[in-house]
Amino acid sequence: MNSSKLIALDADGVLLDYNLAYATAWQRAFGERPALRNPQAYWAMERWDVPQLGPALREQFRAVFDVQFWSTVPALAGAVDACHRLRAAGFELVCVSALQPQYAKARLANLRSHGFPIEQVVATSNDASGSSPKACALAQLQPVAFVDDYLPYFHGVPESIHKALVLREPHGSPNTGPALAHIQSTHGNLAGFVDWWLDKRPLLRD
């Protein structure tokens, strides 16, 4: 059994509310905050009433996903408290995020500004091959558990790491299909994972 006291946590959808930040980014780019279209949509573009963008406007929008954006994403309800409960139980926390490496410091500053007890962000970027961009980093870190809200990011993660999937908004969710068979636990949010983890794994407590 993996005896590590390290737990790896995804950021967007687990610690931070990227979908809410998306609407703020849209307002910053185009001067108008979009209306909410479907609060049960997994993807931000489907949650907010926004049009498809042509190449020029797409670049205008992408430009606001800068240091300011990655420093100011709101925390998800209950996530900060959940992390403090893990720390109180003796676990160390690391954020593993599929983010461009140049924004790792901004992401860490964002987490610290909310009071998350996290001192390290591992930015893995994305992998166009279809493999999880996080698998290599997790193999090096060897945490006892990894929590993410995107099923494809568990592909290739070592068997010794407990795989905990956050099943958030269901409409258009990628968290379905045969790959679910490789997930050890599913939860509604990070707080749900922490409740389950601390109850089911008493031998890991100090």
pLDDT bin (cut points 50, 70, 90) of residue 206 is very low
Q: What is the mean pLDDT of residues 74-96?
A: 97
pLDDT at 205: 42
Mean pLDDT of the chain: 93
Strand 185-187 with 6-9, pairing: unpaired
Q: Over 80: is that where the pLDDT of 203 sits?
A: no
At which residue do the structure tokens 């190449």 appear? 55
Give residue-wise pLDDT tens across range 116-173: 999 999 999 875 455 688 999 999 999 999 999 999 999 999 999 999 999 999 999 9
Percent of the chain whose pLDDT exceeds 90: 90
d(CA 73, CA 114): 10
pTM here? 0.93
Q: How many residues does the chain have?
A: 206
Distances (CA, A) of 57 to 46, 62, 129, 164: 18, 9, 27, 37
Q: In the prediction, which pLDDT does 125 show?
A: 80
